[in-house]
Structure 1
């Protein structure tokens, strides 16, 4: 079956995220979120924390570390949960409680228990591209990220900023604005196909 995921971009600074696990997996997930949204509101619950995670939390006042075992009350007020321990039973318990609380959850390395995935991300200024393999191969996603990171010029952010200014100045309804912007950006596609 083909990938039927619906891609979305969360504004983590408006949400409250819970990460359960303070080891390597928890560190990886927290780091990924902070790289994309340094103002993300993240609470990490774990019995032990890697020193690197403790150091990261000191750099970001919006990251809270709570040294304790996970309990159902940790889900109160949370919008997203990531179960990031190396203990399958604990991760399953977090999943079960999250589902009961109607909170979206990602269970690391367990695609069947995920409501969402954290994909590989390519970023060039304001352009952000998320890559998903539907949980089949994070390695392929990372390789594609490398290719796109090198292929997309850094100057693309200047183009985006100029198009934003143009979009704000355009008159007319939504359909008319889309047609004008499509006409302006057609040169990007044409120039690429002509040079191929």
Structure 2
């Protein structure tokens, strides 16, 4: 069997969600997973969640995060107004397609759970070590592979990397000289810092 060569043409970006308004449509398990993903990445995100039925766990979360607004109602096109990003997590293809169509007319970015063909963007697997954040995409082909890669990176990347980032930030602010000199110096320093971090992790294993 000949496999067609295909490249991932998705453009990776990191959004400052605290500066945007997010709408989640759905009140079940999938919507809860999406909500938790958003909160783990940025708990200050302003979130409206609408659904005709909302699981009790959403109400518990809303007590912990003041930025969550729960609205018990059926979807209406007016719900998209003043929203920047839309996440659809409903078990209803016809409704999902309608929301996508409405959102496109209003120039909104949409993610529809388990329907890649309706998505403007995907929620990829995330690896985080403090200030370091790595997003993984398989172009919608295999969430399972993305999950495994997340586990591998999470295990092998040392926690000390965040300390390295903080130190490098301070050094960068203090460095004098032209751009080429700074790049060369920072490359030398990062090479040594990362080498030391991996050596520490290796010693802990032994």
**TM-score using structure 1 length:** 0.93
Q: Give structure 2 stretches of 5+ with no counterpart.
A: 1-5
1:34: which partner in 2? 39
Instruction: Give the whole-Å Cα distance in 2 for the aligned partners of 1:19 and 1:167.
Output: 40
1:188 deviates by 5.0
1:105: which partner in 2? 110
Match of 1:70 among 69, 75, 78: 75
Q: Is 2:176 the counterpart of 1:181?
A: no
Q: What is the CA deviation profile of residues 44-75 of structure 1, one whole-angstrom value per residue up to 9, with x for unaligned ones?
A: 01101111122111211001111111111111
1:169: which partner in 2? 174
Q: Is 2:70 the counterpart of 1:58?
A: no
Do the aligned partners of residues 189 and 159 (structure 1) sit closer, same or farther apart at CA in structure 2, a change above 3 Å counting? closer
Q: What is the CA deviation profile of residues 14-73 of structure 1, one whole-angstrom value per residue up to 9, with x for unaligned ones?
A: 110001101111101001000110111111011011111221112110011111111111
Runs (4+) of structure 1 moved beyond 2 Å?
A: 171-180, 186-192
CA contact (8 A) 2:89 2:113 kept: yes
1:13: which partner in 2? 18
Match of 1:157 among 140, 157, 162: 162
SS class of match (2:138) = coil
From the CA coordinates, give the structure whose radius of gyration is larger.
Answer: 2
Instruction: Give the whole-Å Cα distance in 1 for the aligned partners of 2:117 and 2:95.
Output: 16
Q: Give structure 1 stretches of 5+ with no counterpart.
A: none
**TM-score using structure 2 length:** 0.88
Instruction: Give the whole-Å Cα distance in 2 for the aligned partners of 1:47 and 1:175.
Output: 58
Aligned residues: 194
